[in-house]
Structures are given as C-alpha cells and as structure tokens.
Amino acid sequence: MTGIAVIILAAGQGSRFRAEAGADQDKLLAPCVGRDGITRPVIEQVLVNLPPVATRRWLVTSPDRTEVIRLAKVHGCEVLLLRSPGMGDSIAAAVAASGPSAGWLVVLGDMPFILPASIEQVMAGLEEDGISAPVHAGQYGHPVGFGRSFGPALIALTGDGGAKPLFAKASVQEVVVDDPGVLWDVDVPGLLDYR
C-alpha cells in the first residue's frame, strides 16, 4: 500500500474575493506575504508549506488556470483538471485519480498560513478507519486527513458541502496545534497578510 495522498483543492471560483478585488482577480494568484516573510501567490504559499513527507500530491483545478497548473507542477504535484461544481466533486475525482492510498489529506488552496509542522501532525494522527483534524482555539481547522477505509465514501461525494458529513460516522483524532494558520483562509483581500 502506498502512502498518504495529499489533495490540494484549487478549483473554486473565489467569488467572495472577486466581489471585493475585481472580477478578473484570482485569489489563488494574489500576492501573499507568507509566515516566512516572502511574498508569493497564495497557491504557491500553500504548496511551499507542504512538508517533505507529503510526496504524493494531487492538485485539482480548472483547465483555464495555467499559472496555477504551472506552479503545481513546479512543486511536484500531479494536476487533475476539472470544471468542478463543488468541493465534493473535486475530492471525489482526486481520490479516484490518486489510486490506492494509506489515506488522503485534503488541503484547501486558499489557506496559505498553515505551518508544515501542523500538516505533519495531522498526517501522523491518521488511522486507517479514522479522520484526523487540527484543532486550534477550540475550533476544527484544515487540512483534514481521512484514513484508507474512507476511500469509497470520499469517491461518492458530490456538491459543495465537501466531506463534513463523514465526521458524523467516524472516530475523529483531534490534533491540537498552536497554529492559527489552520483556521485562516483568504476569502477576501484583507486576509492576504499574516502579519
């Protein structure tokens, strides 16, 4: 059996971000000052934060996002092109494409401030029949890991709700982290700078 497959979701349209920044502004490519002080596009910050143990990487995005595709390949990702109607469809397609895995780690493409150590802790907490999720200040965050037994349920997902329904039927390993990045997505331009 192969290791954990990391799925980076980057197919959403970012409508809240575009409403404030302009219809032609892709939040995944917006300049973002990372926790290391270096300015990169949002999606590249996400990819840079993936720890070395995350070797099997699948990024889901739409065919028209050529710069996102280029950055994904630079950072060692397989790219799955999908005009996705929702997060559930993206997860399902990536799990199916990734093949047999010890589990799947779902990473959101608009969360550029997660520490690599937090990602490693979530991966380490993953068991075959469980879910592993970071908790900061009493709130569940991202990324979320799903054990191997969840493969069929993940492949069956559709729509925009993602994998939240699976939490009700699972043993959830809460990984407490001192990392506000696990709760921080850049839905609007004002959230692009961590400082």
The whole-model pTM stands at 0.95
- Residue 11 corresponds to which amino acid? A
Q: Where are the alpha helices (DSSP H) in the chain?
A: 15-21, 42-48, 66-74, 87-98, 116-124, 151-155
What percent of the residues of the chain are helix, what percent strand, and what percent coil, each to the nearest 5?
Answer: 35, 25, 40
Predicted pLDDT at 1: 35
Predicted pLDDT at 86: 87
Predicted pLDDT at 160: 84
Alpha-carbon gap, residue 16 to 22, rounded angstroms: 10
| Domain total of the chain | 1
- Does a structural domain hold residue 82? yes
Nearest one of 46, 68, 77 to 192, comparing CA atoms: 46
CATH number at residue 162: 3.90.550.10
- Does a structural domain hold residue 26? yes
Alpha-carbon distances of 176 from 56, 62, 119, 121, 134, rounded to whole Å: 25, 33, 12, 9, 6
CB 111 within 8 A of CB 181: yes
- Does a structural domain hold residue 191? no
As averages over each run of 10 residues, the pLDDT of the chain (195 residues) reads 85 88 92 93 97 95 96 97 87 95 96 97 94 96 96 92 84 95 92 80
- Does a structural domain hold residue 192? no
Predicted pLDDT at 161: 78
Radius of gyration, CA atoms only, the chain: 15
Question: How crowded is residue 165: how many other Cβ atoms within 10 Å of its Cβ?
Answer: 11
- Does a structural domain hold residue 144? yes
Domain hosting residue 166, numbered range = 4-185
- Does a structural domain hold residue 28? yes
- Asked if the bond preceding 143 is cis, omega within 30° of 0, the reply is yes
- Does a structural domain hold residue 86? yes
Token reading at 63: 């065919």
